[in-house]
Structure 1
Amino acid sequence: MKEYDVASLDTFGAKTQLRVGDASYEIFKISKVEGHERLPYSLKILLENLLRTEDGANITADHIRQLGGWDATADPSVEIQFTPARVLMQDFTGVPCVVDLATMREAVRDLGGDATKVNPLAPAELVIDHSVIADLFGREDAFERNVELEYERNKERYQFLRWGQTAFNEFKVVPPGTGIVHQVNIEYLARTIMERGGQAYPDTVVGTDSHTTMVNGLGVLGWGVGGIEAEAAMLGQPVSMLIPRVVGFKLHGEMPAGTTATDLVLTITEMLRKHGVVGKFVEFYGPGVSAVPLANRATIGNMSPEYGSTVAIFPIDAETVRYLELTGRDPQQVALVEAYAKEQGLWHDPAAEPDYSERLELDLGTIEPSLAGPKRPQDRVPLGSAKTLFRSALTDYVAADATGHTPGVPQQEKPLGTAGPADEASAESFPASDAPANGVNDPADAPRDLVTAAVGAGGRASNPVRVTGADGVEYELDHGAVVIAAITSCTNTSNPQVMIGAALLARNAVDKGLARKPWVKTTLAPGSKVVMDYYDRAGLTPYLDKLGFNLVGYGCTTCIGNSGPLPEEVSAAVNEGDLAVVSVLSGNRNFEGRINPDVKMNYLASPPLVVAYALAGTMDIDLANEPIGEDSAGDPVYLRDIWPNSAEIQDVIAQAIGATGFSAAYADVFAGDERWQSLPTPTGDTFAWEGESTYVRKPPYFEGMQQEPTPVQDIAGARVLAKLGDSVTTDHISPAGSIKADSPAGKYLAEHGVPRHEFNSYGSRRGNHEVMIRGTFANIRLRNQLRLPGAGSAAGAALPEGGFTVNHLTGEQTTIYDASTAYQEAGVPLVILAGKEYGSGSSRDWAAKGTMLLGVKAVIAESYERIHRSNLIGMGVLPLQFPVDTTAESLGLTGTETFSISGVTALNDGETPRTVKVSTDTGVEFDAVVRIDTPGEADYYRHGGILQYVLRRMIAS
């Protein structure tokens, strides 16, 4: 414990001892709080958290009582301060957190303190998994070459993280080429029950990636947050949250043979999206829980962001303990998990019915093979309907001609289930006049033995593109061609059932003489080295290699757009024919434009189905009834002929997977390979910033900082940088995606000698504030409502979409970044005017950091997303709210005014004013509500931000 940590006041007398074997642990008994027994599992964990961290200020006895007396039917209104046990990061979002820690060390040193005292106060672990790109595939050296390219692109970032690994206590880095953060978390990092400083308490976590929820499958309460919340948690500060509504999801029955975890999670995603669970906790309970293997639970938890819940958690039970044993956890740790869960009422009782805000129910026996797509994870597609629904969706991507017929979509084909080659379809077709307006025949209007036809198997394409592959093989590409088949992402590659299933299907296919189609880019990116270990033990790796599923890397590849380029000839053909081609991936996200710039339609599927579609080469196939290919004798082969049975999958799992495999994979997980260990790494307690680096730069947060905070000031003479409407999200504000050459960020990189092909992405350059400032408020869909001055009129021309504004000092249109620079040089503070739900979305940290660095002192909005409001305070930006039923429009504000905000200085007296006076040079005045909602937030604002607050506390201690 650090001397500035505050021990619990223990108002409820909850502190006691738990003995497990020869060890004794201090615990806080939740049974001391009235109402605990009826709480859902997840809220019991929060209740223990408050008991253990009660300080009388941010966490009070009243907060604990309110949680114990939780009203399941009420809308969330009670704000509590949650203190996570640890922090989990991936490299894109984690680098800025480490940059800030490094900068804090210099600030402490400059103020005469001991720089080495700046360390995470909660265990922080970062897994480098977002930087590998599947450039090379289908060859034995694909993994080695992709890792080499990864190091070449990211050398500066990796050197910085390697320094941090050695410089900071309580900070560990899992090097590149090891695994995906969420799989490494459940297989090794997660504790389920923490043991620290003689205390035992539930493992809770916040992570800088939305799919942190995968660990919910292990009974761990955790979710994704922005970088500012993660930094706060690392530095011992609680995360502000409302006590949520909790949705109870009752499971019963068992899944049918031939179905997979992917089928289950896509069904659950569809159900929960339809029900509406955004901002809620989802908790699984009931007799069916015991029939859901841990890997399947993790798959369900992983998809929580896709159906919108904060968490999707399973309670601790015998299956949890079995998985901890399987993955090689220490026996004392496993014993502690079981003993603690039973002592605290956290052990799952299949007959229990806790209080829930809402309830859903699912019979696992109703699950059927499924996909999801072509553009949203909640759009489930039963496998038996995949062909028909693909054809229907195709009309959204391929324009119909004047007759109503979609080019490349023939109007009739053979009856379903007819054996023989696909091109033996009937030559008859409906007249064009019989086709509906969307260009696709409705099956209900067709003869009973005919189905809607589309491009690919069984149909005549009107605009196929002839392609000669790099190996000289010729083929035709058309709409619906599967050009990417990727076994990828944390969602499924942690799951032995589906991974072994995919490999057995590959073996069966090879034995039948089947091969992937030559236009399919096939990639295998497991979530950890354990996968390749059990593939090798089972003798299955050669079969995957034979089909082109060679290992391309251990990391988050296709799912985040790191699919790498298509082969040149395939890309050229797709663009020449403007083809609507397809990716099939075992991931969790398939949004338009995310997977690959050449691919319009994207489907989520289980790993075995990924292999199946690589063999078929098209989405226009009924895998339940049409042959997937021909064997070496020319006879048709159906998917059912090569689909592995459940018993064989379980036999292979039993033979090939054990604790020794996990123990070996994680024996020295933080050491890294020779590449990592041989990186030239800066030494010293403070980082030696490289002046010419375009990836990692020292941010200006602490420039001029003194040991005592400067009193807060009222704001005078402020101009409006942007006037925004409703539902402006942090994704509109925060830099994301590729960096355009003509953007301020692109110009900055060019000026620093970076060639266009090395620009990389905003995500990869999050450690360089100069790049990120220039990309803030630069989203191409942002609509700034300021208008250019018009000759003789009150309002002139509208600004184009994107990061543009009016520089009120000159009256000219310019970029938001360039205007900000001009204002700051002139000493002019800035404000943002906004509508409802300002700051919703997930790209949080730089939405607040960039706002502050652009010189914005206050935001005045109709309402806020809670976390972005808190993040603004954490960066020293004042969040204000228009009075009830008042908007910028109703007040006549155009954004051309000069603003003054008075009454802010009341904060210097230790009080938070309820309102402050906002006035303009045009005579508009109103009392804005101050949205500093907690004493902790007031402290952050008085100190100029959360980092400054924590740093001063460190120095004072």
Structure 2
Amino acid sequence: MPHPNSFGSRSALQVGDRSYAYYRLDALDSLSGSSARTLPFSLRVLLENLLRGEDNAFVKKADIEALAHWDVKAPVDKEIAFRTARVLLQDFTGVPCVVDLAAMRDAMVALGGDPTRINPLQPVDLVIDHSVQVDEYGTEASLLLNTELEFERNGERYQFLKWGQTALRNFRAVPPGTGICHQVNLEYLAQVVFTAQEGGETIAYCDSLVGTDSHTTMINGLGVLGWGVGGIEAEAAMLGQPVSMLIPEVIGFKLHGKLPAGATATDLVLTCTEMLRKKKVVGKFVEFYGTGLSSLALADRATIANMAPEYGATMGFFPVDAETLKYLRLSGRSEEQVALVEAYTKAQGLFRTDETPDPIFTDTLELDLSTVVPSLAGPKRPQDRVPLTESKRMYREALAAQMASQASAVAVPAGSAAAAMVSEGGHIEAEEGVQCTYKGQSFKLQHGHVVIAAITSCTNTSNPSVMLAAGLLARNAVAKGLSTKPWVKTSLAPGSKVATEYFNKAGLMDSLDKLGFNVVGYGCTTCIGNSGPLPTEISEAIDLGKLNVSAVLSGNRNFEGRVNPQTRFNYLASPPLVVAYALAGRMDIDLATEPLGIGSDGPVFLRDIWPSPQEVEDTILTSVKREQFTTQYADVFLGDKYWQAIAAPTGDQYAWDGNSTYVKNPPYFEGMTMTPPGIRPITGAKALGMFGDSITTDHISPAGSIAAASPAGKYLSVLGVEKKDFNSYGARRGNHEIMMRGTFANIRLKNELTGGKEGWWTATAPGAEPEAIYDVSMARQAAGVPQIVIAGKEYGTGSSRDWAAKGTMLLGVRAVIAESFERIHRSNLVGMGVLPLEFVNGETRQSLGLTGFETFEIVGLDDSLTPRATLVVKTTATDGTVKQFSARCRIDTPEEMQYYKNGGILPYVLRSLVATK
């Protein structure tokens, strides 16, 4: 379809000896009342997207005018269609995406279509980074052994991905052992300004993407618009569907000043996360501005942008400026590309300087960088910042609360001497503990001991300042004669091989190795739950003593049960603090006044080994070089000898292996016809679960290790899979039988229908014996009983886990009624044909007196349903008492309503493709 170009915006941009076509934003200045020049930079990028994407179908002239006239101070609901330049996948979420594409090819054939029409229409990059686990650690062989185990466990998945690489057009896979998808994106894949051929011309436009990892937002630090979506939304984008969204509110976060000595980018991001969570930015854009940006290195910006999911925003955006250009050169981008980025962003008014007038925002907050102090976050949520000076006191308070809650199950009842010692500031460790011997060393393992210290994940491992600070601290500690405590499982998982290069050039790798921080792999490890098992001796001591032990990690997620099943307390910290806590071995320490340990010349304090800002800066200048990037990314798609040795299947349709326990053909398209099912009534429904506030996608979606006693573990055992070969839920995301059994099976999930019993349990009547959620679901589905879920505030917070929605649908859940939803999960529920409903008028499950054992009917579900309509929920209690309350339909846009009427986004896309043959 020809571009209408209603505003005459198409023009030419000359950069050196090359000419590019582009759609000029200043063409909108002539519109009466246009506010385009004062919009936040992030909305200007959206405006460019609409201007370029005008097609009189998804994007109309009126849509462009609406955004050009947008009043950010008084926003209203306005839907737009956003087309991304590309899609980024990681393998946990990428495998099911490719599985669904393979299944769609089969369904296309069944509907009489051509299977080869199912291909990504946008460029897709899949980075295999989530499958490595920390099995081996603390030795020179750690990387080799973990790599061999990774390929042994994931051979079926990797064969499948190689089939996708061969069979699917517009699809590239970055092999294992390269790095974390966000860092590969930052260092190599992102272009900032994208180009494409159109009608014999080269079009230049803003780089943008959606990714199947919520931390896709890391790329916002480079001035690239992008955020995390569920796999089902990503698949739709891959297949040419625009991302349907409401124009967001944009919260401006003004930064000024400079970070003080001793404060790191990690401390800054934990401070921002705390502030923005309090500001309630869920579902909004956050855009950083002010002179403070000029004092932040690109890697620091990426660190802040990375944690947008933790502060709840859709994005944390930094505009393009001189620092962006500097980073592009450092990371090996061509001079031609850097010149294009500079020329294009300046021509479009998308380039920031300290003299740039502040945009107009919906609301603002600000931070003086000089007030940032060293911090942790925890023990269970990333927004719960703990100033380092208060860490000992706050840890003890958390321990006292934890032990009080365990009083009925452990031998430390509330009010006991041990509990009193904690509350009064004494050492409960003096009374509690289990004698343990490991690797020839004997010690008493106690409450609060740090059993995992991991430099891991995308938040910090892209940042040379905090990574090299960790290396310098390790060097200083070794020089003082300190060593890591024997009960600490240490690991270093760099975000890319570039980090190892600059560690080696700085001469710091040997010191990290001596403290046990050997490289264990290149990928997302501890933060995603791939921390691997604790040593048997340590694990058994924890269980024997019912000990509340800790993990300290430089990641972004510390939700309960995520890092490791045995660590109740999990603290986020900067890489140098991770090393410090490995040396101390415990959380019950004041790092300002108590020594980390006894060195060769006596007590050593943190201040004795903490590197100065100047030393860190000097080390960056001498050890981080452009050639490290160009060398490591020269053959990025080639892979190592293990990847190259994998035999790739061929064919337009995938030959499913019925015996595979990793990859199975999902049932989403079974019996599908070209006629959409429409909106079906929900009557006689039963609750499968009733949950409290802040239920995360980690609670809902299968994640981490597979427990032998869980429904998924029992399923694998029946198939003859040994416990040692269970692998993780993430690795088995291509098998719906595993994943549906693992939905609502988190070991820390508390279902109010069972009185709060933790795990995969529900009950069908008051006081009834708990049963597995999976078993109850299957029985009800066989009997034709629809099911619902009831919950509190912030349902579905956390990562963009498509299986949190897919598993919910496969368990027969037709609707989720909650007080509020996190953005991504709400969208994913709609994308799988599950109805999200919100309580209104301040009502809750408690205020309405719901037990969860009622029978439910949702009144008003028919094809006349409109987005955000108010419905009535009618409940009938076991004694016949009838109640009713209102609930808002959280299908937010007309496009989402079409998905819902089709039974989900994938059937909608498939029907559309078949219909346009």
| TM-score range normalised by the length of the shorter chain | 0.7 to 0.9
1:562 equivalenced with 2:530 (yes/no): yes
Residue matched to 1:190: 190
Counterpart CA distance in 1 for 2:230 and 2:84 is 14
Describe the superposition over 1:158-186 as per-residue Cα deviations: whole angstroms up to 9, x where unpaired.
21112112221221111111111111111
Counterpart CA distance in 2 for 1:173 and 1:77 is 38
Cα 1:312–1:564 shift into 2, 3 Å: same
1:361 equivalenced with 2:366 (yes/no): yes
Residue matched to 1:488: 456
1:701 equivalenced with 2:668 (yes/no): yes
Residue matched to 1:431: none
1:945 equivalenced with 2:904 (yes/no): yes
Give the 5 Å matches for 1:134-149.
134-149=134-149
Q: Is the 8 A contact 1:15 1:28 kept in 2?
A: yes
Counterpart CA distance in 1 for 2:683 and 2:114 is 40
Residue matched to 2:270: 266
Counterpart CA distance in 2 for 1:929 and 1:467 is 55
Residue 253 of structure 1, CA deviation: 1.7
Q: Is the 8 A contact 2:103 2:665 kept in 1?
A: yes
Cα 1:863–1:550 shift into 2, 3 Å: closer
Describe the superposition over 1:311-367 as per-residue Cα deviations: whole angstroms up to 9, x where unpaired.
111110010001011000122211111111111111113232111122222222223
Residue matched to 1:120: 120
Cα 1:854–1:545 shift into 2, 3 Å: closer
Describe the superposition over 1:676-708 as per-residue Cα deviations: whole angstroms up to 9, x where unpaired.
1112321122211111111110112223334x3
Task: Specify the code of the residue in structure 1 equivalent to 2:374.
Answer: P
Residue matched to 1:16: 11
Residue matched to 2:282: 278
Q: Of residues 244, 254, 264 in structure 1, which corresponds to 2:258?
A: 254
Residue 552 of structure 1, CA deviation: 0.8
Cα 1:110–1:479 shift into 2, 3 Å: closer
TM superposition score normalised by structure 1: 0.84
Q: Of residues 810, 820, 841 in structure 1, which corresponds to 2:797?
A: 841
Residue 659 of structure 1, CA deviation: 1.4
Task: Specify the code of the residue in structure 2 equivalent to 1:746.
Answer: G
Residue 915 of structure 1, CA deviation: 8.9
Give the 5 Å matches for 1:190-229.
190-197=190-197, 198-229=202-233
Give the 5 Å matches for 1:861-880.
868=825, 870-877=827-834
Q: Of residues 840, 854, 862 in structure 2, which corresponds to 1:904?
A: 862
Residue matched to 2:297: 293
Residue 143 of structure 1, CA deviation: 0.5
1:321 equivalenced with 2:325 (yes/no): yes
1:832 equivalenced with 2:792 (yes/no): no
Q: Is the 8 A contact 1:406 1:440 kept in 2?
A: no
Q: Is the 8 A contact 2:764 2:853 kept in 1?
A: no
Task: Specify the code of the residue in structure 1 equivalent to 2:741.
Answer: R
Residue 774 of structure 1, CA deviation: 3.0
Cα 1:58–1:403 shift into 2, 3 Å: closer
Residue 76 of structure 1, CA deviation: 5.2
Counterpart CA distance in 2 for 1:784 and 1:945 is 27
Residue matched to 1:423: none
Q: Is the 8 A contact 1:721 1:816 kept in 2?
A: no
Counterpart CA distance in 2 for 1:161 and 1:933 is 34
Counterpart CA distance in 1 for 2:523 and 2:650 is 28
Q: Is the 8 A contact 1:779 1:803 kept in 2?
A: no
Residue 517 of structure 1, CA deviation: 2.5
Q: Is the 8 A contact 2:797 2:821 kept in 1?
A: no
Q: Is the 8 A contact 2:252 2:363 kept in 1?
A: yes
Residue matched to 2:717: 750
Residue matched to 1:661: 628
Counterpart CA distance in 2 for 1:385 and 1:176 is 40
Give the 5 Å matches for 1:721-760.
722=688, 731=697, 733-760=700-727
Counterpart CA distance in 1 for 2:632 and 2:468 is 18
Residue 520 of structure 1, CA deviation: 2.3
Residue matched to 2:31: none
Describe the superposition over 1:798-838 as per-residue Cα deviations: whole angstroms up to 9, x where unpaired.
9998554659xxx9996554455455556x37353757779
Moved more, 258-267 or 894-903: 894-903
Task: Specify the code of the residue in structure 2 equivalent to 1:679.
Answer: I
Cα 1:80–1:406 shift into 2, 3 Å: farther
Residue matched to 1:426: none
Give the match's secondary structure for 1:485. strand
Task: Specify the code of the residue in structure 1 equivalent to 2:11.
Answer: T
Residue matched to 2:378: 373
1:99 equivalenced with 2:99 (yes/no): yes
Describe the superposition over 1:550-605 as per-residue Cα deviations: whole angstroms up to 9, x where unpaired.
11111111222222223333333334444443322222222333323333333222
Task: Specify the code of the residue in structure 2 equivalent to 1:294.
Answer: L
Residue matched to 2:175: 175
Cα 1:154–1:76 shift into 2, 3 Å: farther
Give the match's secondary structure for 2:401. coil
Counterpart CA distance in 1 for 2:426 and 2:689 is 49
Residue matched to 2:737: 770
Provide structure 2 residue ranges, at least 5 long, that are not aligned to the other structure: 29-33
- Report the structure number with the largest CA radius of gyration: 1
Residue matched to 2:431: 462
Residue 189 of structure 1, CA deviation: 1.3
Describe the superposition over 1:284-323 as per-residue Cα deviations: whole angstroms up to 9, x where unpaired.
1111111100011111111222222221111100100010
Q: Is the 8 A contact 1:130 1:555 kept in 2?
A: yes
Count of paired positions: 892
Counterpart CA distance in 1 for 2:481 and 2:757 is 60
Q: Is the 8 A contact 1:709 1:944 kept in 2?
A: no
1:32 equivalenced with 2:27 (yes/no): yes
Counterpart CA distance in 2 for 1:516 and 1:924 is 60
Describe the superposition over 1:117-137 as per-residue Cα deviations: whole angstroms up to 9, x where unpaired.
211111221212122111111
Q: Is the 8 A contact 1:119 1:168 kept in 2?
A: yes
Counterpart CA distance in 1 for 2:810 and 2:414 is 56
Residue 483 of structure 1, CA deviation: 2.5
Q: Is the 8 A contact 2:796 2:826 kept in 1?
A: no
Describe the superposition over 1:492-517 as per-residue Cα deviations: whole angstroms up to 9, x where unpaired.
11111121222122222223333222
Cα 1:300–1:683 shift into 2, 3 Å: same
Cα 1:381–1:835 shift into 2, 3 Å: closer
Identity score, percent:
58
Cα 1:114–1:347 shift into 2, 3 Å: same
Q: Is the 8 A contact 2:106 2:115 kept in 1?
A: yes
Describe the superposition over 1:465-484 as per-residue Cα deviations: whole angstroms up to 9, x where unpaired.
443331x2333433343332
Counterpart CA distance in 1 for 2:860 and 2:369 is 60
Task: Specify the code of the residue in structure 2 equivalent to 1:373.
Answer: G
Give the match's secondary structure for 2:88. strand
Counterpart CA distance in 2 for 1:371 and 1:900 is 45
Q: Is the 8 A contact 2:529 2:703 kept in 1?
A: no
Give the match's secondary structure for 1:600. strand
Counterpart CA distance in 2 for 1:881 and 1:454 is 46
RMSD: 3.8
Give the 5 Å matches for 1:528-927.
528-632=496-600, 634-706=601-673, 708-709=674-675, 712=678, 715=681, 719-720=685-686, 722=688, 731=697, 733-777=700-744, 803-804=761-762, 806=764, 817-818=774-775, 820-822=777-779, 825=782, 828=784, 830=786, 832=788, 834=790, 840-842=796-798, 844-855=801-812, 868=825, 870-877=827-834, 904=862
Q: Is the 8 A contact 2:550 2:568 kept in 1?
A: yes
Cα 1:51–1:803 shift into 2, 3 Å: farther
Residue matched to 1:390: 395
Residue 777 of structure 1, CA deviation: 4.9
Residue matched to 2:445: 477
Cα 1:774–1:622 shift into 2, 3 Å: closer
Task: Specify the code of the residue in structure 1 equivalent to 2:50.
Answer: L
Cα 1:17–1:455 shift into 2, 3 Å: farther
Task: Specify the code of the residue in structure 2 equivalent to 1:849.
Answer: K
Residue matched to 1:131: 131
